[in-house]
């Protein structure tokens, strides 16, 4: 049903990003990691280059349009192209992909659920970033609720022409520098998802502030922030989709469908990091071992490398299936969760295997030793966008749907 070969355009994109990653990004990767920041000038130049690669300098073409009426005779390649690009970017340096200017994870809920006025208002600020870079963000995770979305406790209370928000969000990518954040809150925690609402809260709104910037183990060059809402008053028109969108659970579920698109991209990034570690270990072995020699240890190393390659290939194919289903307009919640659960585990184990193959060399924090950085970076890919454990629960529930209870 689905093609697993790249189109000419996708292959060219992959090669262009790979070349840029190898010649420009990789040489600066460790410096960014240690500085815990990426130079703004580089981000501006890279954003311009990425626009050229997309063939567009208008981000509204990517984000402002809502769900389209699908032509059954025309199959989109948007999601798979994004997955190909995500893997190559992560192969170069995962932190830079997460740090790119633009609406980020805040785009899908606005695109899927926002009114035309909201789309124009919140996306138009990205039309021209020649003078000032801007970011959007997605605020769902809380200290007591991450993968268990039903557990969010940030409250929202209607007060005349405004809503009043109170709560804390944590681990928000680009949250400290975002021009606006899609904030999820609840009118009543006992209602579960039926009580959830999504708001777009703009920077500078009274009662909305940035807490601490996290000092993380991995992805150090990417900003991750705590956001605080204390009697934060937002206008009624900041409610994503308007009141009518929440007359049923469908409004909230539409906003949450972002995960069906983003989880495969996170999985693709994990594949990119895993592939980088695998290639590093392979080159190390070529330089230090003669695998043709009849020693059991060398045979074990060759087998481990082959196993790493097989598992990465399987994880990549699971990603491509999930994104291809999305491009065909086929519901892919199970496959999106499956790809996320598989790729996070596989890439983590590949990084572990690579370090064990390289021995002490793999743990060094020297200018040329990227393997240690990738090992720190990869762990979060089994955690954010829904932990691997939760993804496996999602998959199992989908598999059990329709089965009789014995």
Phi and psi at 18, nearest 5°, equal: -60, -45
The Cα–Cα gap between 31 and 272 comes to: 20
Greatest CA separation for the chain = 80
Write the DSSP symbol of residue 38.
-
Mind telling me the catalytic residues? 385
Distance separating alpha carbons of residues 25 and 400, to the nearest angstrom = 44
Instruction: Look at the block and give the residue holding tokens 């021995």.
Output: 359
- Residue 267: CB partners within 8 Å, gap ≥ 6? 315, 318, 319, 322, 339, 340, 342, 343, 344, 381
Q: How far is 85 from 91, CA to CA, in rounded Å?
A: 10
- Alpha carbon distances (Å) from 259 to 148, 210, 265: 13, 25, 10
> Within 13 Å, how many C-alpha atoms sit on residue 278's CB side?
24
Alpha-carbon distance 167 to 151, whole Å?
13
């Amino acid at each position: 049903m689905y093609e697993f070969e790249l189109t000419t355009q996708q292959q060219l994109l992959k090669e262009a990003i790979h070349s840029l990653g190898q010649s420009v990004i990789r040489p600066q990767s460790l410096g960014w990691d240690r500085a815990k920041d990426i130079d703004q000038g580089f981000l501006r130049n890279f954003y311009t280059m990425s626009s050229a690669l997309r063939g567009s300098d208008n981000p509204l073409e990517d984000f402002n349009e809502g769900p389209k009426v699908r032509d059954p005779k025309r199959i989109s390649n948007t999601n798979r192209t994004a997955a190909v690009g995500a893997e190559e970017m992560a192969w170069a340096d995962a932190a830079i992909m997460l740090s790119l200017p633009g609406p980020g994870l805040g785009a899908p809920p606005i695109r899927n659920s926002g009114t035309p006025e909201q789309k124009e208002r919140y996306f138009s600020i990205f039309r021209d970033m020649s003078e000032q870079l801007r970011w959007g963000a997605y605020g769902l995770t809380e200290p007591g609720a991450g993968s268990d979305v039903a557990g969010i406790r940030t409250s929202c209370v209607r007060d005349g022409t405004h809503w009043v928000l109170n709560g804390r969000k944590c681990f928000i990518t680009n949250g400290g520098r975002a021009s606006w954040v899609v904030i999820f809150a609840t009118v009543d925690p006992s209602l579960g998802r039926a009580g959830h609402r999504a708001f777009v809260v703009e920077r500078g709104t009274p009662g909305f502030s940035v807490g601490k910037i996290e000092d993380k183990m991995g992805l150090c060059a990417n900003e991750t922030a705590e956001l605080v809402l204390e009697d934060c008053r937002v206008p009624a028109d900041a409610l994503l989709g308007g009141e009518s969108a929440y007359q049923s659970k469908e409004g909230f579920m539409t906003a949450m469908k972002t995960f069906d698109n983003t989880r495969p991209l996170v999985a693709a990034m994990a594949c990119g990091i895993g592939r980088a570690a695998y290639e590093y270990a392979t080159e190390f072995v070529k330089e230090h071992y003669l695998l043709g020699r009849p020693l059991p240890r060398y045979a074990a190393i060759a087998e481990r490398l082959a196993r790493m390659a097989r598992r990465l290939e399987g994880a990549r194919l699971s990603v491509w299936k999930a994104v291809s289903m999305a491009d065909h307009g086929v519901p892919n919640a199970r496959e999106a969760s499956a790809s996320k659960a598989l790729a996070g585990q596989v890439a983590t184990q590949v990084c572990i295997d690579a370090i064990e193959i390289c021995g002490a060399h793999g743990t060094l924090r020297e200018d040329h030793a990227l393997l240690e950085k990738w090992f720190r970076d990869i762990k979060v890919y089994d955690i954010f966008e829904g932990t691997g454990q939760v993804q496996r629960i999602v998959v199992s529930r989908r598999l059990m749907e329709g089965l009789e209870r014995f």
